[in-house]
Amino acid sequence: MSQSYRVMPTTAQLPHALYRAGQVRALDRAAIDDFGIPGTELMARAGAAAFALLRERWPAATDITVLTGTGNNGGDGFVVAELARQAGLTVRVLQLGDPERIGGDARTQARRYAEAGGQWGPFDGLPRHTELIVDAIFGTGLERPVEGRWAEAVAAINRARVPVLALDIPSGLHADTGAVLGTAVRADATISFIGLKVGLCTGEGPACCGELFFDALAIPAQVYAREIHAARRLDWAKQSELLTPRSRSAHKGAFGHVLVVGGDLGMGGAARLAAEAAGRSGAGLVSLATRPEHVCAVIAARPEVMAHGLLDAAELEPLLRRASVVAAGPGLGRSDWGRDLWAHVLDSGKPLVVDADALNLLAADPQRRDDWILTPHPGEAARLLGCSAAEVQADRLAAAATLTRRYGGVVVLKGAGSVVATAGNRPPAICSDGNPGMASGGMGDVLTGIIAGLLAQGFAPDDAAELGVCLHGAAGDRAAAGGERGLLAGDLLVQIRGLINP
């Protein structure tokens, strides 16, 4: 059994290639069949990597409980249990499912653990005193809801007031979609093996995984050449490489003119947030078309924004002619005023970033364009697709792909693990930046302004969307350094400048 304990990589060092469960199984099989790595050796490496993480994260833990199923995930759990036993820890394995159904390499590891004298019995509730739980119940092959005794075990894990380490994937989480199959383990940390799974990074994946780690199990690089990854993981550390120093002779006209259209009565703050975000992300000029009642407040707070009060849509025409990019929707509303402005924006022929009520108006009168970026949250996406938000969340990548096919352009499906999809052949991308503190009003308005500002500076729409999503998430992470609760959208604005000048 491999004993090469390794210091695990930080989250920032996670791979950027994301795979579906079937692809990872194909990678595993290629390593065994074509490169002669025994399945038991891969299992031993996975267990050793998990145990190394366990000791690094919880060095004081001396009593651990491992819950295993009947598949290979359970085999990984038996390896962890045996390594813990060899290290002098108190360890017990609680088995779910018929032990006679444990087969293949998992059966070999289970037998080794039992022959060495390890404690092993059926799951009948968790022990009263344990310091750490290892979740090795279900792996990536789960496709049906977790029920019965298995659901009881998951509930017991989630009730326990001790840390939880999930092996490969939290039990109950769908590896391809990030949806919860009835119920799922809420782990403090998850270590994924061979290929990072799509479902770990979006939907309920981040909430179930806790801190995410990865080990490739020393599989040869040639194995990965056989599978085209299903999606890409985005992070600011990588995306910021797209930024280059500005020319010393640059002038404001070189960086575009963003026009933000929105801010109906009572919603002027949304439009103002978008306008300031466009400026902070580097747009040369920013104008705002809003209700006259909001102009004085905007100018007083942010005099760099050229705020224009519009009584009717006809007054929008000269502003549209001067703009290079239009951000439509923040606080737009769905009154006659908002509808008329939206109609003029559509007729302008300008590249668009479309958000909020502009998306709702689009859902009521669908059309397709290639020069816009749509930024719906799940509820808005559901209206655009004519389904429920739950259906969108059940498979976020599929929902984003359907939106791009139906509406064209680039789609940013917001939420935990925001998805960026295009209508072309570019693989979808999932952003791993951001935090729950960003679940507050106005955050989407800031994202709209950021993306519009980047688009105005000459970034291609897909690059502007991906860079903008990561900049937005990274700004949120910096702003949350003092705590996630109470984080406001405006707190991100002061972080953008430092990030966009790496």
Assigned domain for 43 exists: yes
Record the pTM.
0.95
Burial class of residue 119 (count of CB atoms within 10 Å of its CB; 0-12, 13-18, 19+): middle
Residue 203 sits in the same domain as residue 302: no
- Predicted local confidence at residue 502, as pLDDT: 78
Residue 495 sits in the same domain as residue 378: yes
Looking up tokens 């820890």, which residue turns up? 89
Residue 147 sits in the same domain as residue 43: yes
CA angle 87, 90, 94 (to 5 degrees): 115
Residue 306 pLDDT greater than 90, yes or no: yes
Assigned domain for 141 exists: yes
In CATH, what number is assigned to the domain containing residue 413? 3.40.1190.20
State the pLDDT confidence band at 7, using cuts at 50, 70 and 90: very low
- Predicted local confidence at residue 5, as pLDDT: 35
State the pLDDT confidence band at 60, using cuts at 50, 70 and 90: very high
Residue 451 pLDDT greater than 90, yes or no: yes
State the pLDDT confidence band at 8, using cuts at 50, 70 and 90: very low
Tell me the per-residue pLDDT of 182-231, one tens digit each, with 9 for 90 and over.
999 999 999 999 999 999 999 999 999 999 999 999 999 999 998 999 99
Residue 9 pLDDT greater than 80, yes or no: no
Assigned domain for 252 exists: no
- Predicted local confidence at residue 216, as pLDDT: 97
State the pLDDT confidence band at 1, using cuts at 50, 70 and 90: very low
CA–CA dist 492, 494 (Å, integer) = 6
CA–CA dist 208, 188 (Å, integer) = 8
Task: Report the 10 Å Cβ neighbour count for 457.
Answer: 20
Assigned domain for 129 exists: yes
Q: What percent of the chain has pLDDT over 90?
A: 95
Assigned domain for 248 exists: no
Q: How far is CA 209 from CA 55, 171, 188, 325, 473, in A?
A: 18, 10, 7, 38, 18
Residue 6 pLDDT greater than 50, yes or no: no
Residue 341 sits in the same domain as residue 199: no
Nearest 10 degrees: Cα torsion 291, 274, 373, 500: 160
- Predicted local confidence at residue 425, as pLDDT: 82
Range of the domain at 338: 257-479+486-500
Tell me the per-residue pLDDT of 121-164, one tens digit each, with 9 for 90 and over.
999 999 999 999 999 999 999 999 999 999 999 999 999 999 99
Tell me the per-residue pLDDT of 356-394, one tens digit each, with 9 for 90 and over.
999 999 999 999 999 999 999 999 999 999 999 999 999
Residue 297 pLDDT greater than 50, yes or no: yes
State the pLDDT confidence band at 424, using cuts at 50, 70 and 90: confident
Task: Report the 10 Å Cβ neighbour count for 335.
Answer: 12
Mean pLDDT of 417-421: 98
Q: How many domains are contained in the chain?
A: 2
Residue 280 sits in the same domain as residue 175: no
Q: What percent of the chain has pLDDT over 70?
A: 98
Tell me the per-residue pLDDT of 223-254, one tens digit each, with 9 for 90 and over.
999 899 999 999 999 999 999 999 999 999 99
State the pLDDT confidence band at 13, using cuts at 50, 70 and 90: confident
